[in-house]
Structure 1
């Protein structure tokens, strides 16, 4: 485990929480953000790039969008990574549409942006929602729901339940509050191990332009990206 990993998840007093499911989702989401941020910052240092803290960036019309991890090279915005959690499928299309609007408007406003990506987690992301994002040429990196469930289950936290089930999220939220900082660090490290390779592939192919020995293993790629990879493979074979 990396030393000095900061855990900045603020725990609310259980007696003041009216919706344990929402509180737990928010708290776990922050752990996922910490994990992705840790990997992205390491990769930025490796490739001599800069990652800013969560930042509101204006498009050319002056509309501001909050970006989780804006990536810069010599003060020029070259990439965007957002982390998005969704529990219920009924919200998937709306949330996916908002991701598309934000990323495409910023990409149109900053010609230096080479690529944008979103790390998705939670059971709510439908296949259609992920396709909507990917076919707008925004790369989708998934933290598989089953993997996150497995990581949390190791600490007695159930992260999947029926929408009308109030008992499971209440008990899981109570257990989350009992986690020590060391346990939270271990959860973050487990998430890091799951997403590190795909994030590094994304950095190398999308921001650095190094495609040697790299096969971008994302579940959802935009059609343009698939065509380019097919052409690359064809010329390598011939």
Structure 2
């Protein structure tokens, strides 16, 4: 196999190893709850074969390649999963924004989905983490330093700069010479770091003893000029009172609209 970018190649291999180990663990958990963990489609193509990718669509027919999903016995999705490895933070925003956009769009179509989970390995910036958290995505991290330590255990130096191509090439060839068992173990050790917390969260998400209650009501109003305004209410009564106003078009008076001079919002950690 011809490799042009050795750093990218070993990164993809490590990410795939973690994803495989995560899949093993999630299948195990899914079985305990009578669920299915899927990483490919269940519908047939026109030729009659199963769809290889797990493509889930939004309300407008756009399809998103999701890494994995927990589904119940009726194949209704319950939890969306993403597994991503990134070495350099400069790629964070692209990956994070894709996850936010894809999961938000898919969740608006499949109202059975209860949660989104992303297992992130490598280096992830605070801003990309904040972006995903603001979109209600639960995050689990496998630090880059841990990956370096795991690879060093098998004689692979992984802590090198972006332009150190010789070291990247050496790391790739050494990784390629590892046995299947060694590569598998690296992925499992990565997942073991977040395993306990991940299982605990999934158990809470799938807990059927929790009574369903309305957590909040979100009202989005769109004007004929394209303006959009979103309102959130804690109770149904408050939302109905708001919607019962005689003249809702007044909510679009631009006197209270933010300007480009206004600073971004600040939230407490």
TM-score between both structures, scaled by the size of structure 2: 0.69
Q: Secondary structure at the match of 1:158?
A: coil
Q: How does 1:51-62 map to 2 (within 5 A)?
A: 51-54=37-40, 55-62=54-61
Q: How does 1:130-145 map to 2 (within 5 A)?
A: 130-145=129-144
More displaced, 150-159 or 166-175? 150-159
8 Å CA contact 2:87, 2:144 repeated in 1: no
Distance 2:157 2:109 in 1: 42
Q: How does 1:27-42 map to 2 (within 5 A)?
A: 27-42=13-28
8 Å CA contact 1:204, 1:210 repeated in 2: no
Distance 1:64 1:149 in 2: 35
Structure 2 CA distance for partners of 1:185 and 1:210, relative to 1, 3 Å: farther
Q: Secondary structure at the match of 1:160?
A: coil
Q: Secondary structure at the match of 2:117?
A: strand
Distance 1:153 1:68 in 2: 28
Distance 1:87 1:187 in 2: 16
Q: What's 2:194 paired with?
A: 195
Q: What's 2:155 paired with?
A: 156
Distance 2:3 2:111 in 1: 44
Q: What's 2:234 paired with?
A: none
- How far apart are 1:160 and its partner, in Å? 2.8
* Deviation by residue 1:118-163 (Cα, 9 ceiling, x = unmatched): 110112x101101110111011111122222211211122333211
Flag the structure with more relative contact order, 1 or 2, with Cα contacts below 8 A and sequence separation at least 6.
Answer: 1
Q: Secondary structure at the match of 1:208?
A: coil
Distance 1:134 1:210 in 2: 26
- How far apart are 1:96 and its partner, in Å? 0.9
Does 1:18 pair with 2:17? no
Q: How does 1:158-177 map to 2 (within 5 A)?
A: 158-177=157-176
Q: How does 1:59-208 map to 2 (within 5 A)?
A: 59-74=58-73, 75-123=75-123, 125-208=124-207
- How far apart are 1:206 and its partner, in Å? 2.1
Q: What's 2:32 paired with?
A: 46
Distance 1:121 1:137 in 2: 19
Distance 2:156 2:140 in 1: 24
Distance 2:187 2:56 in 1: 27
Distance 2:35 2:169 in 1: 42
8 Å CA contact 1:119, 1:141 repeated in 2: yes
Q: What's 1:4 paired with?
A: none
- How far apart are 1:210 and its partner, in Å? 7.1
Larger gyration radius, structure 1 or structure 2: 2
What is the number of residues matched between the two proteins? 196
Distance 2:209 2:180 in 1: 38
Structure 2 CA distance for partners of 1:207 and 1:160, relative to 1, 3 Å: farther
Q: Secondary structure at the match of 1:143?
A: strand
- How far apart are 1:185 and its partner, in Å? 2.5
List gaps (5 residues or longer) in structure 1. 1-12, 212-238
Q: Secondary structure at the match of 1:179?
A: coil
8 Å CA contact 1:39, 1:199 repeated in 2: no
